[in-house]
Chains A and B, each alone.
Chain A
Amino acid sequence: VPLVSGTDVALVIVVVVALSFDFFNGFHDAANSIATVVSTRVLKPVVAVAWAAFFNFIAFLIFGTKVASTIANDVVQQNVLSISVIFAGLIGAIAWDIVTWLFGLPTSSSHALIGGMAGAAVAKAGWGALIASGLQKIAVFIVLSPIFGLLFGFTIMMLVLWSFHRVRRVDLLNKGFRRMQLVSAAAFSLGHGGNDAQKTMGIILALLIATNHADANTAVPLWVVLSAHTAIALGTLFGGWRIVHTMGSKITKLQPVGGMSAETAAAGALFFATHAGVPVSTTHTITGGIVGVGATHRLSAVRWGVASRVVWAWVLTIPGAFLIAWLAYLPFNLFG
């Protein structure tokens, strides 16, 4: 009897691919969590990246694993999940992430993953493989999460403006907000680690369930939690600077107070979504926050051309990753 079966080898390979996706997620998405800190020159890029990576990693100490359960159980029917489906789904998501990274577009790795999983599952078993209620919940929050960020970003910024409009020492005020931005950036990175790392945990959990290494109702094993957080933190450390530029300066110009407000709003949205077990995009929430802050000045302060490019990228993410994953699964169909 061989010590390690072919399935186990395949399982290990797909786990490595899943962790690579997590690394890319950190590389691609986590850059957003430091965009405002870097663009307002509160931290140097290298320090900002290390700061974000640290809070990405320690997120596992704070949040549960509800998002992981949603990914593992509420997207694709359990009986359709297999190593090949998850592998093709991951290929779709990673390929989409790389394409959008090359174009400097801040899309959502999370939605690429969901689109990829759905595409591979449909290629295997048709549209009946999808769980409508789970996908509906995710789709609703694709719309609501940026609105959440926008409205809370606007509200926080207005509260700050009302509270401090009589202060004459603008330099001191700015200094204070620069310090507070460190806290808000940390909170946002925490939220990012909590929500995004759990998506990879969900994928690995689905793999373990599909290969009968875990029960459907089982808790996420600690090694999965730690490896997912390590991968996303390392991805953040290597950073995606193209997107930092788009998020931090192209949508609207930010001052430290604006950066702090946008990040706090986005962190709030992420904390809420993670608590509710909804996988949302960090990119969507921070973009909403930045637009909300820009809107306190006037709507024309927001560069709607760039913002609409971002929205198009969102709209195309799920179909794009779906199509790539569907194509990636075809060889498995052909060769059984």
Chain B
Amino acid sequence: MGRIGRRAVFFAVIAVVCLLMVWPTPPDLRYVPYALAGLATFWAVMVGLDDLFAPVRPRRRAAERLIKRGVISAPPVTMEAGSPLRPPPAQVPRAERTEAASTKTDA
């Protein structure tokens, strides 16, 4: 389950504003703020339900988000050969692989 987003709250606030406008509205036109409040409530509920039941995407870790935005750079993966924690080749960053390749050629 997701959580209710800002749009639902926005429509709920509009509904409240409409209800607050009922009192100063002349009696012959009071159906207008009531109708608008009803419509705003409808959308607040619909958008809220949509937020709640929308498939939830796994939340990225804060550090991953910052790396994606380019605020910080990813730490280089440096592991010694033969280590059991050595990542499979596909996960080795491209820059590192190129470096390794060039070292081999030099040798």
Show the binding face of A for B, using Cβ within 8 Å. 133, 136-137, 139-140, 143-144, 147-148, 150-151, 154-155, 272, 276, 278, 295, 298-299
Contacts and interface: CB of A to CB of B under 8 A. Distances in A.
A144 B21 CA distance: 8
B7 A298 contact: yes
B21 A151 contact: no
Contact of B39 (A143, A144, A151, A278): A151
A299 B36 contact: no
Contacts of B18: 144, 147
A140 B14 contact: no
B36 A140 contact: no
Nearest to B26: A137
A133 B36 CA distance: 22
Contacts of B29: 137, 140, 276, 278
B39 A155 contact: yes
A147 B24 contact: no
23 contacts: A133-B26, A137-B25, A137-B29, A139-B24, A144-B18, A144-B25, A144-B33, A144-B36, A147-B14, A147-B18, A147-B36, A147-B40, A148-B32, A150-B14, A151-B39, A154-B43, A155-B39, A155-B43, A272-B32, A295-B7, A298-B7, A299-B7, A299-B10
A144 B10 contact: no
Given A295-B7, A298-B7, A299-B7, A140 B25 contact: yes
Contacts of A151: 14, 36, 39-40, 43
Interface residues of B, number: 17
Nearest to A133: B26
Contacts of A154: 43
Nearest to B25: A140
B6 interface: yes
Nearest to A143: B21
A140 B40 contact: no
B17 interface: yes
A92 B26 CA distance: 28
Instruction: Please list the 5 inter-chain residue pairs (A to B) with the smallest Cβ-Cβ separation, ordered nearest first.
Output: A140-B25, A151-B39, A140-B24, A137-B26, A299-B6
Interface of B: 6-7, 10, 14, 17-18, 21, 24-26, 29, 32-33, 36, 39-40, 43
Contacts of A299: 6-7, 10
A111 B25 CA distance: 18
A151 B21 CA distance: 16
Nearest to A136: B24
Contacts of B24: 136, 139-140
Of listed A151, A154, A272, A295, residue having the most chain B CB within 10 A: A151
B46 to A, nearest CB: 9
A150 B40 CA distance: 10
A140 B26 CA distance: 9
A299 B14 CA distance: 14
Contacts of B25: 137, 140, 144
Contact of B17 (A133, A136, A143, A155): A143
Nearest to B14: A147
Contacts of B36: 144, 147-148, 151
A155 B6 CA distance: 17
Contacts of A136: 24, 26
A73 to B, nearest CB: 14
Nearest to B29: A276
B26 to A, nearest CB: 5
B97 to A, nearest CB: 38
Contacts of A295: 7, 10
A140 B21 contact: yes
B47 to A, nearest CB: 9
Contacts of A143: 17, 21
A136 B21 CA distance: 11
A140 to B, nearest CB: 5
Nearest to A150: B14
Contacts of A139: 24
A210 B17 CA distance: 39
